[in-house]
Each structure stands twice: as C-alpha cells, then as structure tokens.
Amino acid sequence: MHQPPRLVVIGTSAGGMPALGRLVAQLPASLEAAVLVVQHLAPESLGQILVDRLAKQTELVCHLGAHGQHLHAGHLYLAPADRHMLVKDGHVFITKGPRENHYRPAVDALFRSAAAVYGARTIGVVLTGMLHDGTAGLEFIKRAGGITVVQDPQEAEFSSMPESALSNVQIDHVVPLSSMGPLLQQLTQAPAPQQVAIPPDILLEAQIAERVVGSTDDVEKLGRQVPLTCPDCGGSLWEMQHGEVLRYRCHTGHAFTADSLMRVTQDSLEESMWVAVRMLEERKNLLASMSRRGEGFGSPQQEERIEELKVHINRLRQFLLNGAAGRPAEHGDMQVSS
C-alpha cells in the first residue's frame, strides 16, 4: 500500500474547532500529506459531528479515525472520543490505552507515534488549547528530524498549549492561522527531508502505547524510578531521561510532563485538604453537641478543644483560598461561627 509522503499531525484543545476550521479551509485536496488531528474531547462526544463540520470547510476528505484505516494524502483523520489515535504500518491504529497528561485522546501519543513511524517526514502542529499536551510530542518530532509549527499565542483563543511548546521546544515556525495553510503546503511540497535515526526511547514508548511491550523492565530502560506515585493508578513513576522536556511515566502506560503531573497532584492535594476541612467541621459540631448535653469532658475543656478546631479550620481555609486556589480571599468573613 502506497503511504502518503508526509504526515501533518495537529493537536488542539480549548478553542480548537474554530481554529481547525480556519486552518483546514486553507488546505487543498492535492495536499501531499495525510492530516491527523487530536482535539481533546469529552468521552461522550460524538466525533462524527465534528468530522461533518470540518468536511464542510475543507477540500480534504474527512474521516473519524477508525482502527485499520489506510492513510491517504489529502485525507484528514480525527481521533475518536476516549481513544488514542496512533500510526502503524501506513494505517490508523486506535487504542484505549492509558491516558497521557490525563487525556485520551492525547496529542503527545499521536505525535510520538508519528515521529516513530515517519521521522523527518512528520510535521507537528500545536494550536490553541489549555495546559501542556503537545509539548513533549513536538519534542519527539523534533528529535526524530521532523518540523514543528505552533500557532502564534498572541492570537490563540487559549494560549497555554502554544506558550508551553515555545517555552520548552525549539520551534521551527510560529505563525498565525491565516499563514499556516500556505506554510503547510510549502513544507509538504519541499524535497523529501533526509531521514535521521529515530531515538530508541521514542521507538520504545511508541511500542508501549501500542501495548506491544509495557513491563517494568521496559520502563526502566527509559529512565530512573523516583519516589513519586502515578495519580491515575497509584503505581511507581519513572523519570524520563531523554530530551529537554521533563517527563514521567508508570509501567502501566500513564505518562505526564512535569507540568501536567504538578497540576494533577495539586488538584488532588486541594481536594484532600477540603476533605480535611469537612472532617474537622464535623468533629467540631460533634464536640459542640456533646458539650450542650453535658457529655464527655468538662465544659471548659470542651470549649477549649472546639476553639482549637476553629483555629485549624480557619487556617486550612485561608491556605486553600490564598495558596492552593491561587487567589486571595475576597473578604475576611470566612471565620467559623460558634
């Protein structure tokens, strides 16, 4: 089966559909590349609706990614909801593998797979979106000899994904959407780039994502075990020792950039602290009820313990409002009442 000469892989999240529509409207049916797209979707999303919407805006033939589809130049493939979309042997490979950066589909998973298979013939594109998915993926493509493109964050509806990529990866082209279509046509029409050796860690991680391998021994080849646990499964994490983007993964396949891991653990910590506030509140209320009924220790001791709990509750609340939530308390009226 003749494979398309190049792959254009696109990753986007918040604000992605309008941006994708503007971009693919510029791409002709004669594009010398297959286009694969990961748009972060809720698990219950109906991807075919999005495919039909894109098809009305472009000359490319649009598909919802399905396992085993052959890749064709001038065709667009959108990752289905709650599935990773990878590339293997000239066709689409769909899997419900572990989440990466807490996403499925994940941009990094597609970009890594494309880099492993197409190497220097891969063009990676990151558009508008929140957080950091796609940053490590662009570095995979860069290390495999491919070309990296990022939407100008000044015009992106949500600039986090483009800014993260620019902060961590040497990007080849930073352009507004209005210039991206002509740029991609130019890049796909250029002489075939010289292939470079694909780094072994990219090949191994691509195999893990395909579930070809995935034992602890395999993950140990990628990095060193660290005293951190995977927030998705509770397993041990290994710190990746390749490239410039600091990354972690567990042996079951969950993977994170350091930034995404930090955010997940911060959210878990904040949730745990609010649980602690609730439990302290319940203990305070129980002690107050016992004191009113004359049960337990003497009334002065009971009142003292209640006052101590109020102090702890207020300190936790203030910390959550000022620190964990990332903003100061709006008023000084968060004190616990008697």
Residue 233 tokens, joined = 């499964």
Catalytic residue among 63, 113, 133, 254: 133
| Calpha distance 257→109 (Å, rounded) | 12
Catalytic residue among 13, 113, 160, 291: 13
Catalytic residue among 40, 132, 173, 254: 40
Is 173 labeled as catalytic in the residue annotation? no
Which residue, 123, 92, 87, is CA-closest to 11? Answer: 123
Contact 249, 218 (CB under 8 A): no
| Calpha distance 105→170 (Å, rounded) | 24
Is 13 labeled as catalytic in the residue annotation? yes
Which residue, 199, 212, 209, is CA-closest to 241? Answer: 199
Contact 131, 231 (CB under 8 A): no
Is 133 labeled as catalytic in the residue annotation? yes
Residue type, 173: H
Contact 93, 87 (CB under 8 A): yes
Active site positions, annotated: 13, 40, 133
